Amino acid sequence: MGIDPNYRLRPVSGEHGGHKVYGKVDPPKVLGVHGTIVGVDFDICIADGSCITACPVNVFQWYETPGNPVSEKKADPINENACIFCMACVNVCPVAAIDVKPP
């Protein structure tokens, strides 16, 4: 199914690591979408690490999410402002949990 490309229209539920979090959040099961320029749907991210490896500008870092039923860590777009829009992360994500849009 993948990330909802319209997630930016959802209510902002908070901030984390300098970026917005969109949608409902009810830890540890529901974590929302993190990031505006580079959005990662924490509810479907399986933490295989392919986006971290593929990104040439280190947008992502691991974020621990203990108790989450999908994975106990997520690829957090902590440095989304460094994104060069190469789309490498989008292309390698096996569950299509990432959406990239210029500001």
Torsion sign over Cα 8, 103, 43, 20: negative
16 is in an annotated binding site: yes
Q: Residue 4 annotated as binding?
A: no
Q: Is 99 part of any known ligand binding site?
A: no
34 annotated to a ligand binding site: yes
76 is in an annotated binding site: yes
Q: How many residues does the chain have?
A: 103
Q: Is the peptide bond before 11 cis (omega within 30 degrees of 0)?
A: no
Q: Are the C-beta atoms of residues 31 and 25 closer than 8 Å to each other?
A: yes
Sign, Cα dihedral of 46, 41, 43, 17: positive
41 is an annotated ligand-binding site residue: no
Q: Is 26 annotated as a binding residue?
A: no
Annotated binding-site residues read 16, 19, 34, 45, 51, 55, 76, 83, 86, 89, 93
Annotated binding-site residues for Zn(2+) read 16, 19, 34, 76
Annotated binding-site residues for [3Fe-4S] cluster read 45, 51, 93
Annotated binding-site residues for [4Fe-4S] cluster read 55, 83, 86, 89
